[in-house]
Structure 1
């Protein structure tokens, strides 16, 4: 399970110690085992839903607000040039 913990940490851009890998490995395994149990449920008579409650438009109004300074936004970016985020090229 260490490989999965390391992979998830890498995706989240977290550095974790060997002790944390040992701690989180069994926890992650328990979560995944529970998800496998949920996969065994018979849902053939259950229709697809996006939300279990019949709610509609419970969002607040979109109001412009004060944003954080650009320097603060870029501070934790893995790579940036001037005022732009740099990301790996994905389209050839």
Structure 2
């Protein structure tokens, strides 16, 4: 029996980016991708690092498991809700 894939999506940017706007000046883009298909990751391991004109921010995984597919590449400009990876979660 194969476990269903869990989708990990781009979270909402921190609210302070909208209210202040200082950190979020410029485009948001993927600076680094830390995972590949087949990687086993722990909860809170970083999936990607994003950057704006002034700030770099790591996006962690909310669950432990094995990465199935990666849908994001360095240089991509992910919007809120964009599919980052699919994974098989561990309970």
TM range (shorter): under 0.3
The structure where strand makes up a greater share of residues is 2
Q: Does 1 or 2 have the higher relative contact order (CA < 8 Å, sep 6+)?
A: 2
Normalised to the residue count of structure 1, the TM-score between the two structures is: 0.22
Using structure 2 for the length normalisation, give the TM-score. 0.22
